Amino acid sequence: MNSSVGTDPVRTIRVLAVGAAPAPRTTQSASAAVPEALVRTRETASPGYKEALAAHQAVASPSRIDPSIAEAVERQTRAMCQLSRRAFPESETPSADQPAPIEAARLQRRRESEVARILALRRARAERAARQAGTSDVAAEPAPLRTTA
C-alpha cells in the first residue's frame, strides 16, 4: 500500500474474520481537542475595531456619477421623447359623445356582421322563392345594401 501511494501512511493491517467488528476505540474527538472560540460580533468587538468602523462609516464616499454625464443623459432623454412625440403623435382624445377607439372598432364590426346577415337572409329567401316557384335558376345577386352615415 505504501509503495503505491508513495508515502508511509499505513503502519499496520488487521485482518478480521467475517462478521467480527473491533471494539470502538476511546479516543478524543476532534472537537474536544480544539477549544471553542468566541464568536465576535460588532457588539463584542474590541474598542479599536469599533473606532475604525466608526471612522470608516463617517467618511462619505465620493459620488461616482459625473454631473456632466448625468446632464448629457437628461438631454438625450428629452430629445428622444420629442422625437417620439413627432413620430407617433397622440390622437385627439375622444369627447364624451364619441366612443373610444376600441368601441368604434367594435361598432364597425357589428355593422359589417349585420350587413352580412341581412344579405344572407335575402339570398336564402330568394332561393326559397325560386324553389317554390319551380324555377331552376337561382335568383340573381341582390343589390348591395346602401349604408347611411
User: For the chain, what is the domain count?
Assistant: 1
Instruction: Fill in the amino acid letter for 121.
Output: L
User: Which residues, in sequence order, are CB contacts of 42 under 8 Å at separation 6+?
Assistant: 49, 50, 53
Specify if 127 maps to a domain. yes
Q: With 70 as the cut, is the pLDDT of residue 149 above it?
A: no
Instruction: Determine the average pLDDT of the residues in 86-106.
Output: 73
* CB of 118 closer than 8 Å to CB of 145: yes
- Name the least confident of 24-28, 111-115, 127-131, 137-141: 137-141
Q: What is residue 32's predicted lDDT score, i.e. its pLDDT?
A: 55
Q: What is residue 140's predicted lDDT score, i.e. its pLDDT?
A: 55
Q: What is residue 43's predicted lDDT score, i.e. its pLDDT?
A: 81
Q: Pull the grid cell for residue 19.
A: 462478521
Specify if 105 maps to a domain. yes
Specify if 75 maps to a domain. no
Specify if 123 maps to a domain. yes
Which domain covers residue 109, as residue numbers? 100-142
Instruction: Determine the average pLDDT of the residues in 46-65.
Output: 82
Specify if 24 maps to a domain. no
Instruction: Determine the average pLDDT of the residues in 64-93.
Output: 86
Instruction: Determine the average pLDDT of the residues in 54-78.
Output: 84
**Cβ-based neighbour number of residue 140 at 10 Å:** 7
Top pLDDT among 116 and 3 is at 116
Please tell me the distance from the alpha carbon of residue 50 to that of residue 63, in angstroms, as a whole number.
25
| CA-derived radius of gyration, the chain | 47
Q: What is residue 74's predicted lDDT score, i.e. its pLDDT?
A: 93
Q: What is residue 71's predicted lDDT score, i.e. its pLDDT?
A: 92
Place of cell 438631454: 75
**Alpha-carbon dihedral sign for residues 31, 34, 35, 37:** negative
Specify if 112 maps to a domain. yes
Which residue, among 68, 64, 48, 65, has the nearest Cα to 56 in the 3D structure? 48
Which residue, among 138, 147, 149, 145, has the nearest Cα to 117 in the 3D structure? 145
Specify if 125 maps to a domain. yes
Specify if 149 maps to a domain. no
